[in-house]
Chain A
């Protein structure tokens, strides 16, 4: 099997191989049906955890089906483990991968954004052009609700979320490293439902660990919109005993940010000064899902069939990953990967006129609490009456280096499962 490295990816894209001709900037204008469909075709929107997995597994399950993937980014940057970039324990390069493995499976990739979906005609719009599909799989991740925090929309360049791994992760790490000893780092947690329930608390651990090690007079204030730590609460609170520099305030929803005076305001009217702020905004399904009328009455998330991930609103359009709602599962990369596989198998069965098998996802979320120890939550599910039902949730008995090593094993396996 072909090895997939970032270097290899950069080489092929520099040579203009693959479908790079459509790359933004130097691309010929996309017009009309820019890739006429010959046989049966699945189009996938979004090459993240859910979409890249789905694209690969449709090809694995039935190589006679053409798969076209739309993804604006030329590289995949893993959100899992990206909190470790803040503390300097990992590098962003180690979390950055090319899409060469998917091309080796015969996935056609266009580094473009879908601009609209037309379920009636079975078309995905890309600027002035379009693609025809038999079935569509949408995995656009989350979009931020900037308007929910006063002053945030105008301050997007200075007030970072770092909730989509990439340049913001690197920039936030730089801001953290530049904080004066004695400075205050404010981290805000959005109300549920948001991407990666334990993610903000893992981040709190990594920031507190960094400050404790490098800026012992500094402190971290966590302003949580929720009433308690949303995931693995007892394990995180136990881990925080090692961080006297961490101050956790529950039920403190941030409603305003003012970078000119370096201050956030909570719904209780408290003003909190910061040297560095990391404001994780409230979230909803990726914009394309809302535009395509896949979201429900809440205008935030997409309801789907639990066996096929077909949208309850539009036929032949499937949604996986963080954009979905209604299953008793967290918005995690592990779940997005599981949904991608199950959806791919279901789509292939449907295109072949067969009944899709009933398959349940599984989930494991590891969280690093310092530079060498982790905790985890594991969920197993089954299908009952056509719905996903939890069998069991299990936590690690505490934090240890063993779970951190297992986390590393998980990451290696799952990155390969998505992109290899």
Chain B
């Protein structure tokens, strides 16, 4: 049997019982909105993504080139020292093939699974990567250690967001 929604645990009250008024309910939609200040590190990172570039920060003590960038090194406990542009290519550190959407609803028949991956970015220190998704690749072809490259939105469509990169695709040949 194919589940409509991914659920763990016992059988909860069904949505239909609530909709049909078979149980007593109250409903109120929360209106909770936030506008987070990004600060200098993430602010610059997003601004550079809009320009089609990936930028990192370097700590001159531990020599790490860190992305996403940060204004202080959490291990050395000191301010980071300089901005460093890194490549838009990298290596798949780990990945997963997801047959449910972000809200745990099952993907429709014929739809491609979601392919989140942690990509270690070329030019950043080993182990430094960003979480993104893979594209233009068959799920069964994905391998840890695979070389990938960013596929960017068109410049006029970019808005200073992590989604200015559409996905990472395998580097062929």
A binds B: no
